[in-house]
Amino acid sequence: MDDLSIKKCVPCDSKDLRPMTEQAASDLITKVDGWNLVSEGDALRLKKTWKVKSFTKGLEMFKLIADVAEAEGHHPDLHLVRWNNVTVEIWTHAVGGLTENDFILAAKINALNMQHLLRRKATN
């Protein structure tokens, strides 16, 4: 499996795009550090959470992610709650499930330089 972060998303309106199986998703989730497979209703989603240093740094993070999403033509759901908790959810709306696009976007988000925006994890 080559590095997902260097792949490109395909247009979601291609008619032969189908949601992947749970098994395929379980294989791919190992390639995107920190992301979880969650089931919302009967559809699978990718989900990851971060704690940011401040509300405004959360919005800076949204902008970094938005730039990647626009470049890929594939977009996540962005949540910023209780001032410093960022959650990103990704799925392919056109098929109501997961496609490789979702994992490519997750890998590209992981590749962003966001350390300066994130709260340091407690070491103890």
Ligand X SMILES: C[C@H](O)[C@H](O)[C@H]1CNC2=NC(N)=NC(=O)C2=N1
User: Which residues here bind ligand X, judged by CB under 6 A?
Assistant: 11-13, 73-75, 92-94
Q: Which of 52/106 has CB closer to ligand X?
A: 106
CB of 18 to ligand X, least distance (A): 13
Q: Which two tokens stand for residue 59?
A: 């919005």
CB of 95 to ligand X, least distance (A): 7
CB of 55 to ligand X, least distance (A): 25
Q: Which of 45, 59, 48 is nearest to 91 (CA)?
A: 45
Q: Which of 57/102 has CB closer to ligand X?
A: 102
Q: Which of 10/64 has CB closer to ligand X?
A: 10
CB of 22 to ligand X, least distance (A): 19
Write the DSSP string, 46-80.
Answer: EEEEEEBSSHHHHHHHHHHHHHHHHHHT---EEEE
- CA-to-CA separations, 103 to 50, 56, 81, 106, in angstroms, rounded: 18, 27, 24, 5
Q: Which of 5/92 has CB closer to ligand X?
A: 92
